[in-house]
Amino acid sequence: MCGIVGYIGNKSAQEVVVGGLRKLEYRGYDSAGVAVLNEQGLEFDKAKGRLAVLEERLAAQPLRGTVGIGHTRWATHGKPSDENSHPHLDEKHAFAVVHNGIIENFLPIKEELLAKGYTFTSETDTEVIAHLLADMYDGDIVSTARKAVKRMRGAYALGIMTEHEPDKLVAVRLASPLVVGIGEGESFIGSDIPAILEHTRDVYILNEGEMAVLTRDGVELMDVESGKKVEREIFHVEWDLVQAEKGGYDSFMLKEIYEQPQAVRDTMGPRIDPDSKRVILPELKMSDAQLASYDRIYIVACGTSMHAGLVGKDVIEKWTRIPVEVAVASEFRYRDPIYSDNTLMIVISQSGETADTLAALREAKKSQVKVLAITNVVGSSVAREADEVLFTWAGPEVAVASTKAYTSQVVTLYLFALYLAQVKGTIASAEIANIVDHLQAIPAQISTLLEQSDSMRTFAESIQDVGSLFFIGRSLDYAVSLEGSLKLKEISYIHSEAYPAGELKHGTLALIEENVPVVALATQPDIFEKMVSNIVEVKARGGRILGFAMEGDTELAKTVDEVVTIPATLPMLTPILSVIPLQMLAYYASVARGLDVDKPRNLAKSVTVE
């Protein structure tokens, strides 16, 4: 979500901070700001809109100094405006704060401060923090910050500086990610590693309830509650910043769509024994006996990751005969779920910082439930707090709309399901080898689909002005339809809905009229005839149908207006392939409508608040 950058050293803080904020634009934001500390005190500038608006203002009137903090905001409390942008300062401009997250009890604290005579200029919860620091300051910003955060409830990552102690930056983390970079004579704060990677590869990843005190000479970590010093090894970042650049593509999303063959290959390759054609998951610490003991699985996730979980449910149940429930994390966290000693929870999060998914993970751990995480980010909260982790080696995903992370998650779920089937003995070795052979063919088949993108571009351009579009499918095709519909909504702003095709006659057919576009997936042989009947129902009401068929099928073309052919594979593996043209459909529809593909309105890459 929001982005934080902080710097203390000998360079221009404005240049370092703004440069870091540029690397965080992918997170989604509606305003940006910078504060710098110099001999005159705290100076700041902030503006509604893209970072370019702020940069133009700073070019005319730069902020001089070598200590600074900056922020890109995604509105939660208060509309996007200059006043509501971060950093926030107290009324005397002695303290400056940048904040990701939400302070749930900000209203009673604000009322208390108002009663003391403090005045507020914004609608945000964050401004309360700046005034609270000013009110509680005891001559030591570290002890003051510790006392202040103990008054606050919620989720936050904080960057704090004060003119009273110009040679320090303070960072605090609770439930919102924050990293600290270590350089030569300089230190950095970032809400994500790309923000500081240009300057250092050596970082500390703050854990829950920790704070860092940054000076030019180094970084000290401590526990917020006790104040005790924390010792931790430096994490050295191996991946290259170039991976997070567009690489010649028109957008990050298009680049990431085309990176899917490699992302799938990287996720799958090290986990398949080439000789035995069996799945190996050396990163799992649990024994085979423990894994085999699970008789119920929850898959908990949000958005695209939840759609990957729906595919995972079908394959796990089919291959292992273990019942699986897929739950939306934002709902699951408020349920009173039924656990047993043999329940396993699988949480899925691209960023590893999704607030609702993290909350579900933590609630499960309180109930002594084992949690397996599937995530793309090493060092993320989900990765650190889960009992087991399977990383999706998709590489950095910058576009807000997830593509290669989704396909990598699906592949990881396939691998886990196969491994579990091996452990439980529910699939014969020959069948496992056959599935593995087909899985290994998937990257090349994705490349084949990407070469046929022109057909999706044509269809996308034909729907750019429609009011609504519908996706239908059955079984695994329905799970993929949900993801296709979400992608279209996310980046083209075209209203779309996905329905199980068998449910059309229970109300949805009322929405079908002449020339309404319908995307119909029909890749599952066991229910193909049923699906064709549903398509005929739509066609009879005048719908214009784009059908998805498996290579070799000649029947679907007789009942639809246009056909997209998916390379032949096992029916259970079609979701990895059929989603590719749906991603292209959403992409080209967005381009046709002249929209910002990578930064859709109102959305953020990493949702770190409820």
pLDDT tens, 142-163? Answer: 999 999 999 998 878 999 999 9
pLDDT at position 369 over 80: yes
- pLDDT for the residue 74: 74
Higher pLDDT, 136 or 510: 136
Cα–Cα distance for residue pair 78/70, rounded to 1 Å: 19
pLDDT in tens, 240-299: 665 556 656 888 899 999 999 989 988 998 899 988 999 999 889 999 999 999 999 999
**Nearest-angstrom CA–CA distance, 204 and 379:** 10
Q: Which residue has the higher pLDDT, 29 or 227?
A: 227
Measure the N-to-C terminal CA separation of the chain; round to a whole number of Å: 11
Q: What is the DSSP letter of 175?
A: B
Supply the pLDDT for residue 1: 52
Give yes or no for residue 237 having a pLDDT over 90. no
pTM of the model as a whole: 0.73
β-pairing, 229-230 vs 169-174, is unpaired
Beta carbons of 456 and 564 less than 8 angstroms apart:
yes
Q: Which of 391, 435, 361, 407 is nearest to 284 (CA)?
A: 391
Catalytic residues: 2, 605
pLDDT score, position 28:
61
Average pLDDT of span 310-316: 98
Cα(121)–Cα(418) distance, rounded to whole angstroms?
A: 57
Query: Following DSSP, what letter does each residue of 231-251 receive, concatenated?
Result: --PPEEP-S-GGGGS-TTSSS
Res 23: pLDDT: 87
Q: Give the chain's mean pLDDT.
A: 92
* pLDDT value of position 70: 97
Give the model confidence (pLDDT) of 355-365 as tens digits: 899 999 999 99
Give me the amino acid identity at 314: D
Residue 393 has pLDDT above 90, yes or no: no
pLDDT at position 177 is 82
Res 610 pLDDT > 60: no
The predicted pLDDT at position 258 comes to 93
Q: What pLDDT is attached to residue 212? A: 98
> What is the pLDDT, as a whole number, of residue 605?
61
More confident site: 348 or 394: 348
The answer to whether residues 79 and 124 touch, using CB atoms and an 8 Å cutoff, is no
Nearby residues of 562 by Cβ (< 8 Å), 6 or more positions away: 455, 459, 545, 546, 547
- Tell me what pLDDT residue 150 has: 94
Radius of gyration of the chain (CA): 26
Q: Is the pLDDT of residue 544 over 70?
A: yes
39-53, 179-193, 243-257: least confident range: 243-257
Contact 417, 320 (CB under 8 A): yes
Task: Kindly tell me the burial class for residue 229, based on how many C-beta atoms sit within 10 Å of its own C-beta (0-12, 13-18, 19 or more).
Answer: exposed
Q: Tell me the C-alpha distance between 394 and 407, whole Å.
A: 9
